[in-house]
Structure 1
Amino acid sequence: MNFYHQIALTKIKGVGPKTARTLLAHCGSVQEILETKASVLTKIPGVSSRTANEIAAKKYQEATEKEIAFVEKHHIQVLWIGNSDYPQKLKNCEDAPLVLYFKGNADVNKERMVSIVGTRNATNYGRKICEMLIEQMQTLNTTIVSGLAYGIDIMAHRAAIQHQIPTVAVLGHGLDRIYPSSHRETATAMLQQGGLLTEFPSDSNLDRQNFPMRNRIIAGISDVTIVIEAATKGGALITAEIANSYNRDVCAFPGAIDHPYSAGCNYLIKTNRAHLIRDIKDLCYLMNWGPQQEQIGVQLPLIPPDLNSDQLRLYSFLQDKHQAGIDEITRYCNWPQSKLAMILLEMEMNGHITSLPGKIYKI
């Protein structure tokens, strides 16, 4: 498939994920956006005249053709937000990138995706926890996600490779380089046992703001984010905060109260921003990843008479599924996250549904 129009949209100044979704909702397709006159685009709420003129000027053509040539030459997959191969967990986040570039053989829609993040200045304590946790994950059929940075990130990737667990690095730059360059050998190995993922095209500047942007993908692509070691400031805590804003689970390993690289983890636990975990058993309990019991001979309850239409829709879905995770519910209902959170809370308070570890809901 030729992704010319999709990539072109990302090359236009002033068109980010939210603006693009607005344009798509009004125009119907990317091609239609690019062919619509500026005078028509300015009538769309949230689209400025400056953005409309940028679209109409078609200055994106040369950069788009160059990017198409690059991805074809290097056999890079282009993942468009409207297609099924795009990470569906990430798609549910309102600021998800329109286009992702991926190289490797991992399934970015695997049922269990775990992000592992932490300080760049990992201690022996952090190294021991990271290696222990990933070794225990061999039977979980999961994919490990991190950011290829120094410290905990690269330890997680290397431990995953060692134990033959697929691992994906989310990059803060294009696929025309590896940063830091000392991690190139690990990145190359990941192409055979995982992959490299980024929203940044080739020739992107290596700017500081790229890395918080990368962190939202790490948080959004995963079911749970695990912080192993972190100071009170840094990328790991940013990723944890983003994961919480996406209504994803966050876990942290506690550490000594006087150690600076345990302070961030202890803070997340103290402020209820993360669940305390000690090993794989705690993670499996939290995520409800234990063995599934057979649903044989279970009689479903009668539908309560006091449900409104939205609640009835969700209740009926859970009756059919027996239980479902937050991402599966989001895809089925297709409601804004704020609306879904309110409906789930109301139904739980009224005793219609119950929540299980791992943001699993059942009647």
Structure 2
Amino acid sequence: MIKNRNIQKKQKYFRFIPPLSSWKNAYCENESRIAREGKEYILGLNMSENVGMSFEERAALCALNRIFGFEPKVGLKIIGTLESAMAVFKERTEVGRILGACSRARYASLITESAFETSAIELEALERNGCRFIGIGEKGYPALLMECDDPPLGLYFKGISRPEDVFGGLPQVAVVGTRGLTYYGKDWCGRIVDAMSKSNVKPLIVSGLALGVDVTAHIAALDSGLPTVAVMATGIDDLYPSRNKNVGERIASTAGCALVTDYPPGTGAVRINFLRRNRIIAGICRATILVESKIRGGGMMTARLAASYGRDVYALPGRIDDPVSQGCNLLIRENVAEQIGDLGELVSRLGLGRTDLRLKSDFKEEVASCYRGQFPDDEYEDIVRLALLIKSHRGVSIDELCQRLKWTYSRVTRLATTLECDGFISVDLLQHCHAKK
């Protein structure tokens, strides 16, 4: 018999995590039936009716999420057949019959009283640490995620706002991309988020807390007053990577923001976990923006998943010879993503109304007004010309500038140093120049 909430606490906290190999190896003949019946269960959920989800039902969902984390369709099919998560544990003998003779039959042996008790203890530990578990169908579970055919059975949540306040009001937009972010990508990532912050309808920015585009999007959102959600590929107790720990803590302590994951506490950073995480980013949001990505990468996977869910996808075009722009350019060529050009049009297409795009004055005019009257006419024209060339050829080297302009090395470096000192460009250790405005 399943014990109630007042079960005796175990001295040793037992963690039960299913084998990762189930992600690839668990397909069988009744795949389509499982997907169909699982989807029917999702459609039958009424979130308003599940506001008062019992502790036992939530604990049962938490336990099943541990077991079926890599195959949520199977878990949904079983719950749908037995009509509740708690019934799965009360009628464990029925699970084998429902699954049939296939590779998934092994799951029947994992649905145990011990698994339920472990999750019940875990829920109480979460509450003591300012976290919670949101079961599918419960108020606060992201509505758009429930429209997908493979939503997680629940989400771990950490934030000072209620889940329903984070996910229930604002439109959600994902901003994702490569960890190897360039100056161009960082600049445009900031511009895109800034434009959305100045729109009539303020969105919730969703990303993955990774290095590069993810953390840039989170910081840009926080700095511009937009709420942001970080969907993690680890347990709610492990902010990864450690370099972004401060950003994660800032998100968790800011109103309207949250840390979210479907992985149990204690789960570390494993490559396959990031692949599973990406579907949640895509599923939560009405649109996904890919800033920079190679042909293969997590950002590309998220964008393609979003397209498969019927969501809008946008991509920032880049140089055809730039590896971190090739993924974006490919999605645009394949008509999977719409090209980002005019930010006002992007904001409008996202359904956010209009935006005040008086973000930055014209680069040429800024440079010209800064040096007008300070140099002889010929040198004034040269420094403006140099600035515009660097602006239009991001990452151009000093040597390339010498060749293009037919100037001496000393002349180029002198004028470039002037532009750098005045904040118009930056020059890295390899003497590549990048416009900063």
Match of 1:158 in 2: 219
User: Is 1:118 the equivalent of 2:177?
Assistant: yes
Contact residue 69 and residue 152 of structure 2 kept, 8 A = no
Question: What secondary structure does 1:169 align onto?
Answer: strand
Match of 2:168 in 1: 109
Mean alpha-carbon deviation: is it higher for 203-212 or for 11-20?
11-20
Match of 1:230 in 2: 293
Shift of residue 63, structure 1, vs aligned partner:
2.9
Could you tell me how far apart the structure 2 residues matched to 1:14 and 1:108 are? Answer: 22
Alpha carbons of structure 1 residues 61 and 22: separation in structure 2 relative to 1, 3 Å? closer
Alpha carbons of structure 1 residues 12 and 227: separation in structure 2 relative to 1, 3 Å? closer
Shift of residue 45, structure 1, vs aligned partner:
5.0
Structure 2 gaps, min length 5: 1-53, 355-437
Q: TM-score scaled by structure 2?
A: 0.63
Shift of residue 14, structure 1, vs aligned partner:
8.4
Match of 1:68 in 2: 123
Could you tell me how far apart the structure 2 residues matched to 1:241 and 1:127 are? Answer: 22
Shift of residue 61, structure 1, vs aligned partner:
3.7
Q: Map 1:142-153 onto structure 2 (within 5 A).
A: 142-153=203-214
Aligned AA (1:252): A
Match of 2:95 in 1: 41
Structure 1 gaps, min length 5: 292-363
Question: What secondary structure does 1:209 align onto?
Answer: helix
Shift of residue 279, structure 1, vs aligned partner:
3.8
Shift of residue 232, structure 1, vs aligned partner:
0.9
* 1:278-331 C-alpha deviation (Å, 9 max, x unpaired): 24322234334437xxxxxxxxxxxxxxxxxxxxxxxxxxxxxxxxxxxxxxxx
Equivalent of 1:52 in 103, 108, 131: 108
Question: What secondary structure does 1:172 align onto?
Answer: coil
User: Is 1:185 the equivalent of 2:274?
Assistant: no
Cα root mean square deviation, aligned:
1.9
Could you tell me how far apart the structure 1 residues matched to 2:288 and 2:63 are? Answer: 32
Shift of residue 11, structure 1, vs aligned partner:
3.2
Question: What secondary structure does 1:59 align onto?
Answer: helix
Contact residue 202 and residue 352 of structure 2 kept, 8 A = no
Shift of residue 189, structure 1, vs aligned partner:
1.1
Match of 1:332 in 2: none
* 1:69-96 C-alpha deviation (Å, 9 max, x unpaired): 3211112132111213100000111111
Equivalent of 1:213 in 256, 263, 276: 276
User: Is 1:93 the equivalent of 2:93?
Assistant: no
Equivalent of 2:353 in 290, 305, 309: 290
Q: TM-score scaled by structure 1?
A: 0.75
Could you tell me how far apart the structure 2 residues matched to 1:10 and 1:225 are? Answer: 26
User: Is 1:260 the equivalent of 2:323?
Assistant: yes
Alpha carbons of structure 1 residues 165 and 237: separation in structure 2 relative to 1, 3 Å? same
User: Is 1:25 the equivalent of 2:80?
Assistant: yes
Equivalent of 2:234 in 160, 173, 177: 173
* 1:105-132 C-alpha deviation (Å, 9 max, x unpaired): 2612334111000110111100110111
* 1:11-40 C-alpha deviation (Å, 9 max, x unpaired): 3368831112111221111111111042x3
Equivalent of 2:193 in 116, 134, 147: 134
Greater fraction helix: 2
Contact residue 225 and residue 249 of structure 1 kept, 8 A = yes
Mean alpha-carbon deviation: is it higher for 13-22 or for 132-141?
13-22
Higher Rg of the two aligned structures: 2
Aligned AA (2:88): I
Alpha carbons of structure 1 residues 45 and 200: separation in structure 2 relative to 1, 3 Å? closer
